[in-house]
Amino acid sequence: MTTSTSRRRKAWNQGKTGTGRAAADSPVIERCTVEGCGTEATGRAPAKGMVKVRVPGSTEPACWYCPGRCRAIGQALAELRSISRSPQGKAR
Ligand SMILES: [Zn+2]
């Protein structure tokens, strides 16, 4: 798992590894205003049709998102957090 992750990271970052830029944490898209979208999935879905997004290896917990665009954004966000943070969650 770790090996494939770092190989993928290299490909994505043109061979450079190391600490991610702080800017990677800044939101690049507007937050969805739908009630419950992006909230941590600890229980039932906050709204009908919401989908749970959980990326293995990510520091981001499972979250509820609207299907479609929000789900894709949530997944991308969780994947980013699995790249830029250590498994121990030392970084911010
Ligand atoms: Zn949404």
Q: What is the pLDDT of residues 35-50, one digit of tens each?
A: 999 999 999 999 999 9
- pLDDT higher than 70, residue 89: no
Distance, CA 69 to ligand 1 centroid (Å)?
A: 7
Spatial separation of the C-alpha atoms in residues 54 and 58, rounded to whole Å? 8
Residue 32 Cα to ligand 1 midpoint, Å, equals: 5
Distance 38 CA to ligand 1 centre (A): 7
Residue 69, pLDDT score: 92
Three-state DSSP class for residue 72: helix
Ligand 1 centre from 83 Cα, in Å?
23
Does pLDDT of 17 surpass 60?
A: yes
Going by pLDDT thresholds of 50, 70 and 90, the confidence category of residue 32 is confident
**Ligand 1: centre distance to CA 8 (Å):** 28
Collapse the DSSP code of 9 into the 3-class scheme (helix H, G, I; strand E, B; otherwise coil) and give the result: helix
Percent of the chain with pLDDT over 70: 58
Distance 53 CA to ligand 1 centre (A): 12
66 vs 19, higher pLDDT: 66
Domain boundaries, the chain: 36-92
Comparison of pLDDT for 3 and 70, the residue scoring more: 70
